[in-house]
Structure 1
Amino acid sequence: MGMSASDDSDRAHPPAPSRKREGEASAALRNAAARLAAVSGTPRLDAELLMAHALGVERDRLLLDPARFDVPDGFEALVARRLAHEPVAYILGYRDFWTIRLAVGPGALIPRPDSETLIEAAIAHFAAAAPRTILDLGTGPGTLLLAALAEWPAASGLGVDASEEALGYARANAAALAMQDRADFRRGDWARGVEGPFDLILCNPPYIADTEALMPDVAAHEPAGALFAGSDGLADYRRIIPDLPRLLAPGGAAVLEIGASQHMLVAALARNAGFAVDCRRDLGGRDRALILTL
């Protein structure tokens, strides 16, 4: 059977494969990122995370093959929540930290990438050895303790926090990571009533001065008790550091997170308690972790 002229034309110039869905998804991401720029320093990332969450897939899968997906119906509602300054981690219900994923929500401090500096500092201190016992003061949703236990599978530890709400997340996270037999969580007032010794002590205390202004998504949503620490931001260091020598095992280290301008002030408190002090900077080049040894 012969071909018509139109058939021949179609073979010479086949129609381009449909890009409708990919175009829609890309346009939706661009539009969301443009609007989110008013409330976020990472608007494109926020948009991608929210779309992936609405789709029920990981972000890397969305970016690898966007043509597979229609724009999900729930995407716009998630963007609206972010535009109202709700933190992305609370919208998603989790935050990835170090090598683990942690469930988070209202009442729990959201883990920050800068805090991974404390795990890096601990790994550098112990080198080929490994801590067997770990204490995390101000554990929140279990952030530092569970990241350390993931790094050292033979270790066990205790996480202490003043917030029962945060400890609820910590216990759930330990169970989700199959670490419930190695991680104990206790409500407490820093190290009061805690008995050592511990090879590794981790602590990310509140260190923001009461008068410091914060971004709306932090100030309006995250727990103030996990953020603010008196007129100079040092109130909790003054309580924590003097109690550390009795808890630290020989050869061990206490690793404390600090604000970028607090190195000298917190180091002075540590030296007064008998510690030698070193400092590790975060990926942004800011002083972030003090390593205390006896």
Structure 2
Amino acid sequence: MTDIRTILREATNTVGDRLEAELLLAHTLGVDRAWFFAHAEDRPGLDAVRRFEELVARRAGGEPVAYILGRRDFWSLSLEVTPATLIPRPETELLVELALERLPRGGSVLDLGTGSGAIALAIASERPDAEVVAIDASAAALAVARRNAERLGLARVEMRESDWYESLGDRLFDVIVSNPPYVEAGDPHLDQGDLRYEPASALASGPDGLDDMRRIAEGAVRHLRGNGWLLAEHGWNQGAPVRDLFTRSGLSHAFTAQDLEARDRVTGARVD
């Protein structure tokens, strides 16, 4: 039998990432990663090694670790994710931060295209006083979001199946947030890495990547209260066109915030 140290070294060589190898082995053994430091010479049983090797093979074949494990950490939450949902990414936490800064006490938030529920549930976890509504056009994605809400004790978040604003009637919100599809259709990156496994409908949006962003901007004025904010994540090269889009849709005070790698990431604008 091979010890933990050797198993991790060989798996790291296979998948090319030590952290991913540790996450897969911790999942297999039902331990946390800190356990490895005190058990480097332990020799797991043959069944466990075989299960781990199956996971390593899946990762080596390109399947995202988040889908293999069935979960992803975001904000302070551990979220279930499936191939029906986009994998939450750390840069999206900037969108949560900006929304929390602009959300009045007892205010309301609409999360458009919630996917796993990451943004809506992060906001709800920080602001129990807020009314949070999360919508998605995918019934499969909403089922994941609902399970996350139940497990995290955030079932008060209202989940609705809707094609953007379609089912909302004349409801108004203080903040609208969205991480919509924004990749250009035909972008070669869609056929590379983890993106190959994520739902195409959550990634690409027309020739310039902004078809869904236009729909979001056009409906925002009708669904925002006075001084309410629209905040949306986008690609590194879309800050200027999204600011222009928001302004032409009747919003004002448009700005773009950069992520930790100094790339344009979230643009916001408000109703006067």
Q: Decide: shared fold, TM above 0.5.
A: yes
Query: Is the aligned partner of 1:98 residue 2:72?
Result: no
The alpha carbon displacement at 1:62 in A equals 2.9
Return the alpha-carbon distance in structure 1 between the equivalents of residues 35 and 257 of structure 2: 35
Return the alpha-carbon distance in structure 2 between the equivalents of residues 150 and 248 of structure 1: 22
The alpha carbon displacement at 1:64 in A equals 4.5
Native 8 Å contact 2:243 2:268 kept in 1:
no
Other structure's SS at 1:199 match: strand
Task: Give the 5 Å matches for 1:137-152.
Answer: 137-152=112-127
Change (3 A) 1:113 1:162: same
Query: Is the aligned partner of 1:110 residue 2:87?
Result: yes
Q: Deviations over 1:251-281 (max 9, x none)?
A: 3322100100000011100011222211211
Query: Is the aligned partner of 1:170 residue 2:149?
Result: no
Amino acid in the other structure paired with 1:139? T
Q: Deviations over 1:20-63 (max 9, x none)?
A: 98xx21222121111112xxxxx11111110111111223x335
The alpha carbon displacement at 1:131 in A equals 5.3
Amino acid in the other structure paired with 1:277? A
Return the alpha-carbon distance in structure 1 between the equivalents of residues 111 and 42 of structure 2: 42
- 1:192 is aligned to 166
Native 8 Å contact 2:66 2:81 kept in 1:
yes
- 2:26 is aligned to 52
Native 8 Å contact 2:181 2:204 kept in 1:
yes
The alpha carbon displacement at 1:144 in A equals 0.6
The alpha carbon displacement at 1:69 in A equals 4.7
- 1:153 is aligned to 128
Amino acid in the other structure paired with 1:87? P
Report sequence identity in percent: 41
Native 8 Å contact 2:258 2:265 kept in 1:
yes
Native 8 Å contact 1:131 1:199 kept in 2:
no
Return the alpha-carbon distance in structure 2 between the equivalents of residues 184 and 66 of structure 1: 44
Q: Deviations over 1:56-80 (max 9, x none)?
A: 1223x33543348534422111101
Native 8 Å contact 1:117 1:282 kept in 2:
yes
Return the alpha-carbon distance in structure 2 between the equivalents of residues 69 and 211 of structure 1: 48
Change (3 A) 1:201 1:80: same
2:39 to 42, 66, 91: 66
Query: Is the aligned partner of 1:270 residue 2:243?
Result: no
Change (3 A) 1:131 1:82: farther
1:179 to 130, 133, 154: 154
- 1:213 is aligned to 188
Say what the alpha-carbon RMSD is for the aligned residues. Answer: 1.8
Q: Deviations over 1:212-260 (max 9, x none)?
A: 0125443431110000001110111111101101211233322100100
Structure 2 runs not aligned, ≥5 long? none
- 1:27 is aligned to 6
Q: How many matched pairs?
A: 264
- 1:7 is aligned to none
Amino acid in the other structure paired with 2:38? D
Return the alpha-carbon distance in structure 2 between the equivalents of residues 50 and 114 of structure 1: 23
